[in-house]
Amino acid sequence: MGRVTSLDELPLRDDLRGLTPYGAPQVPLPVALNVNENTHAVPEAVVADILDDVAIALSDVNRYPDREFTELREAFATYLGHNLRAEQIWAGNGSNEVLQHILQAFAGPGRSVFGFAPTYSMYPLIAQGTGAAWIAGTREDDYTITPEDAAAQVAAADPDVVLLCTPNNPTGTPLGLDVIEAVYDAARGVVVVDEAYQEFAPREAASALSLLPGRARLAVSRTMSKAFAFAGGRVGYLAADPTFIDALRLVRLPYHLSALTQAAATAALRNSSTMLAMVDEIVEQRDRISATLQALGYAPHPSWSNFVLFGGVDDPQELWRALYDRGVLIRDVGIPGHLRVTAGTEAETTAFLEALASIGSPA
């Protein structure tokens, strides 16, 4: 039997040829601020509580887990509030899997997915992975979108799925509820509001969860990866009409959430007040980054997330490499003249800002 040495020798789907897998650099640098993780460790008391629940789940791990992850859905409904019920909640192994479920159910071959670029880089990849076409809309120069423009673009594209990221990755820009309402009214298909970074927004900021009543084509997704410091736990979730949830059951794999995942996530939610106590510190460091970047001569964009996109970079690759050589890893997101940095701990933020200052201000 001959040895296959390249993808070209396999009967790969034509639309996947020439592509490379998604992935940010994973290198052992002292300060890694490139993938918007919550760099704070889970508090020891919470770790102990999670371990207790995982140990109990292990004692019955020879059996399949609860296919409907009932206890976890109830915990998410309680956490989100807005009078949500467990039957309005869905979850998966990270919000990417939740979004994949949505596109498997509502997009697919011959259908289209729309988002306002620049936005989360996984959206077009998940669309392509499910066989759907990706349509990129546009934003204003400051990355905002007006309700009128948003509605006009969606009506013209007539997509089967609209993905709205707010606060937006990689820009940190929020969307007003009026934009979401306008998009929903203009859309024929489903509208998904990705609120992965909602916990970092101002406390008075309204959530799209308030728009769910009476809108059966609307879903609001969240993640435990960011504010909950649970990126390695791989848990994402959404809230929607119960009928929307039923559609996702048609495409999910059976028992897709392990018993250990369900136990760990439920325990983490039980400790939500402790887990979220670090959010204020992250927001403080984010604002510190923005202020210092501006003082150094860069152009940070307003951010409601746990990261800052900053412009005024003459050569993003050169600056990225200079920081890399100083032990600091940030992200080149492909926007000309820009780089993105995650707000980490106070020590990590100091390391980044000192490294940046040592390189010198932009011309």
Question: pLDDT tens digit string along 298-352?
Answer: 999 999 999 999 999 999 999 999 999 999 999 999 999 999 999 999 999 999 9
Residue 290 pLDDT: 98
Of residues 25 and 123, the one with the higher pLDDT is 123
- Is residue 1's pLDDT more than 60? no
For residue 306 the two structure tokens come to 């746990």
Strand pairing of 89-92 and 161-165?
unpaired
- Is residue 109's pLDDT more than 80? yes
pTM > 0.85: yes or no: yes
Residue 19 pLDDT: 81
Per-residue confidence band for 363, with pLDDT thresholds at 50, 70 and 90? low
**What would the mean pLDDT of 167-194 be, rounded to a whole number?**
98
CA distance 246 to 1: 46
- Give strand ranges (E) for 189-231: 190-194, 218-223
CA distance 193 to 277: 25
Quote the mean pLDDT of the chain.
Answer: 95
Per-residue confidence band for 266, with pLDDT thresholds at 50, 70 and 90? very high
Residue 361 pLDDT: 78
Q: Is the peptide bond before 118 cis (omega within 30 degrees of 0)?
A: yes
Per-residue confidence band for 17, with pLDDT thresholds at 50, 70 and 90? confident
Residue 55 pLDDT: 97
Strand pairing of 112-116 and 133-137?
parallel
Q: Go through the domains of the chain in sequence order and give each one's CATH number.
A: 7-41+277-359 (3.90.1150.10), 44-274 (3.40.640.10)
CA distance 38 to 227: 6
- Give strand ranges (E) for the chain: 31-32, 89-92, 112-116, 133-137, 161-165, 190-194, 218-223, 236-240, 299-300, 307-311, 328-329, 339-342
DSSP letter string, 22-60: --------SEE-SS----SPPPHHHHHHHHHHHHHHHTT
**What would the mean pLDDT of 55-78 be, rounded to a whole number?**
97
**What would the mean pLDDT of 117-124 be, rounded to a whole number?**
97
pLDDT tens, residue by residue, 182-237:
999 999 999 999 999 999 999 999 999 999 999 999 999 999 999 999 999 999 99
The C-alpha angle with vertex 195 and arms to 189 and 199, in degrees rounded to 5, equals 165
